[in-house]
Chains A and B, each alone.
Chain A
Amino acid sequence: AKALAKCEEEPNKPAAVLTSAEQLSIADLELRFKVLRENSELQRLHKEFVETKVLTEDEFWATRKKLLGKDSIRKSKQQVGLKSMMVSGIKPSTDGRVYYIILSTPSWKLSFPVKCSCRKEIMHTISSLAQLTNRVTFNLTSEIIFQIFAEKPAVRQAFINYVPSKMTEKDFWTKYFRAEYLYSTKNTAVAAAEAAEDEELAVFLKPDEILAQEARQKDHGIQRDGTMDVVEPQNGQFRRSLLQDLNRHAAVVLEGRNIDVDSEDTRSVAEALARVKQVSKADGETTKDANQERLARMSRVAEMEDLQAPQNFPLAPLSIKDPRDYFESQQGNVVNESRGAGTLKRNVHEAYGSLKESILEIRTKGLSDPLIKPEVAFEVFRSLTQTISTAKNIIGKNPRESFLDRLPKSTRDEVLHHWTSIQELLKHFWSSYPITTTYLHTKAGKLKDAMSNSYSLLEAMKESVQSELRHQLSLLVRPMQQALDAAFQHYDADLQRRTAKSARGSAGEANGSV
């Protein structure tokens, strides 16, 4: 044993093996757990080998880097569209209970008491706790902000104008939601009164000027009756039509996110949207261009890249040589049994001669009569029937049915599992040759033990199955056993070689030292 150990240390490779501790980040571990959870087959293999210490974790995952790659994280980064639920305000109730509304963003909270109640189906973001405590939280996420800015350009403009010069963001949103509430109460008198006091509030309450302008631009030739807008009573000015809001909302949702700014900063979102609107307004003169641009964008987006499977590495193009070269090389390239060329030619001519004679014979004599003797025909039938019936017993009635389907389910699963586990073991076994370090030696030993275990399990399975299926099952299992046998042979031969080498080595040393 000492000699063996000495022999192995001779190669003097640096011990940079996989057992050196790699600092695994928590993210990596989580990723591994996730992959195992999703793939039950892999989990079974993992349990069988890593937990019984046949393979280490690193070895197991070494060949599966692709599964653990960044690609699996990418899946979670799917682009999410806008919610189709409208960011509506709060509806007033009839029972007059007073609720406090708490607006919260990641950075600040505010609250104010408002006389209202909310219908569950409108305010999805309300916590149930709040209902008990008369406080209602409304989460103002960046997505909602985006939606508000997209739907109501006047609000966006107001934001750009007023914040941070005239008021803080907090105040801005307070005012906005107050306006929303007032609007939803449909109490136009109160709305008008408050609007008169607070000009910013008025902005929120008025029908969106910018939207109206855009709408007017779209009607080219139609003479808008401008009187409609002007004659409205003072209070009616603050009445936005629900239809307009709905249409606007739908248009925004369908367009999706057309800006790439992903930041938390509300101001930059507002500015980016403004820029987009400007650009589209400039193109708006020629609607054809705008349509074309929209179509191009739609075709791009329709591909849904984030739902496609992760792209593999760039492939080198396959260049297959001109096949004509190959076929021409067949003609002169083959060296098989070489009879003398002369004798061959003579044989050939004779053969052709006899063929021609045969044809002449049949032309003159006609078909042979009788064509076939009855005994011969009967013999043919008998042998064919025998062939078919024996084949039916072995293969089964359905020619396309595979033997695997005829096994009982548990046996079938067991066979398939054995197959995958043997593949895994063999993969690691063959990759550890040629053995150069002690680590590889122990690894090979462990794998060999696991493989012997598999072998005996296969034998046991063959015994346990019904007698009529046994033959086919052993045929099915034979390739696995042959592969294992080849591995065992290689292992034993290698071991013998090593012991012989070490014996020679020590003998040589003994001679040399003396």
Chain B
Amino acid sequence: MATVASKLYSDDVSLLVLLLDTNPLFWSNTSTTFSQFLSHVLAFLNAVLGLNQLNQVVVIATGYCSCDYIYDSSLTLSGNSESGRTGMPALFASLLEKLEHFIVKDEELIKEQEHDERIASSLLSGSLSMALCYIQRVFRSGHLHPQPRILCLQGSPDGPEQYVAVMNSIFSAQRLMVPIDSCYIGTQNSAFLQQASYITGGVHHAPKQLDGLFQFLTTIFATDLHTRSFVQLPKPVGVDFRASCFCHKKTIDMGYVCSVCLSIFCEHHKKCSTCGSVFGQSKLDGASTVSEKKRKAPDS
């Protein structure tokens, strides 16, 4: 039995972990409706499952305040569906049900928060971490497992307060050798996603027309890892490597870096808040105070 299974586990079996952006603030502002988007995505998932008998798909919803597992193809039994729903592939009935429950829960969570004055970003760091935990469990399950990759379908802008957490997840994914593909459907640029794909060796694309989303997904993101060495996928020419500062969480491109722990600050501090090392006074500050004193002397 084991040998049969191993024969089936050829090079192109993949485990796709899809991070679905369900941020309501984003979806209320776009031209495409969420239902259209969902139909593209569900058709894509069907296609991926159809590519190989052993392919697996896991869907994690990235909400505004929380994240949760929505769907796991290895757990869902095919026959167990509600008949009577027209048009909907039975495979995804449970997915939609769980999605609805998740959104209700997310809404309740937001009621509890008093001030939510941050950028309308979704909790990318949370869902990335959950995806990596699932993949780690798959790795530990034994020798025979599909090759995992993460696909991030994101439209919300980056939340700079999540910079450290997202970077940590990206480096963990790099260590695990799990590529993070990203498909950005929003309006602005997403530095996090570009960096994630660049560092982990995944594919990044930002499609302009959302009504062709299904075509984008199947052309670029459906290929498994083994096939990617033979297929030319679109590469971004430049990557936005901006970081966010550790004190105010603003996105900056010029700042101060602690030489001990490499934390980034936007303004001069006396002490590094992460590792506690004391910074010396910068030469430029010293020069300006001296010259100011000098300027006063001749006038008075």
Bound form: Cα–Cα A433–B269 in Å = 22
Contact present for A384 and B96 (CB under 8 Å): no
Bound form: Cα–Cα A321–B276 in Å = 8
Digitize B227-260: 1 where CB-to-A-CB distance is under 8 Å, 0 elsewhere.
Answer: 0000011110100000000101100000000001
Per the CB 8 Å criterion, the residue count for chain A at the interface is 64
Q: Let me know if B143 is at the binding interface, CB within 8 A.
A: no
Residues of B within 8 A of A365 (CB): 35, 86-87
Contact present for A372 and B220 (CB under 8 Å): no
Q: Let me know if A44 is at the binding interface, CB within 8 A.
A: no
Among residues of A, the one whose C-beta sits closest to the C-beta of B286 is: A434
Q: Let me know if A373 is at the binding interface, CB within 8 A.
A: yes
Bound form: Cα–Cα A332–B249 in Å = 12
Residues of B within 8 A of A384 (CB): 216, 219-220, 234
Interface centre among B22, B34, B215, B216 (most CB of A within 10 A): B215
Contact present for A321 and B273 (CB under 8 Å): yes
* 15 intermolecular pairs with C-beta atoms under 8 Å apart: A318-B261, A320-B275, A330-B162, A333-B161, A333-B249, A334-B118, A334-B161, A352-B107, A356-B100, A358-B34, A359-B100, A371-B43, A372-B214, A377-B215, A388-B234
Digitize B256-285: 1 where CB-to-A-CB distance is under 8 Å, 0 elsewhere.
Answer: 000011000000000001111000000110
Of B38, B164, B219, B233, which contacts A380 at CB under 8 A?
A: B219
Query: A355-B24, A371-B43, A376-B215 in contact; A501/B34 too (CB < 8 A)?
Result: no
Interface hits, A336-353 → B, CB 8 Å: 336-339, 341, 344, 347-352
Q: Let me know if A319 is at the binding interface, CB within 8 A.
A: yes
| Interface residues of A, dominant DSSP | helix
| A-B contacts besides A330-B249, A391-B235, A508-B298, 11 pairs, CB < 8 Å | A321-B275, A337-B119, A338-B117, A344-B116, A348-B116, A354-B24, A367-B43, A371-B40, A377-B212, A395-B237, A434-B290
Query: A368-B39, A371-B40 in contact; A376/B88 too (CB < 8 A)?
Result: no
Digitize B53-71: 1 where CB-to-A-CB distance is under 8 Å, 0 elsewhere.
Answer: 0000000000010000000
Contact present for A355 and B27 (CB under 8 Å): yes
Query: A351-B28, A362-B38 in contact; A341/B215 too (CB < 8 A)?
Result: no
Q: Let me know if B209 is at the binding interface, CB within 8 A.
A: yes
Among residues of A, the one whose C-beta sits closest to the C-beta of B231 is: A388
Contact present for B27 and A354 (CB under 8 Å): yes
Of B34, B36, B283, which contacts A359 at CB under 8 A?
A: B34
Interface hits, B146-195 → A, CB 8 Å: 161-162, 164-165
Of B38, B161, B286, B299, which contacts A330 at CB under 8 A?
A: B161
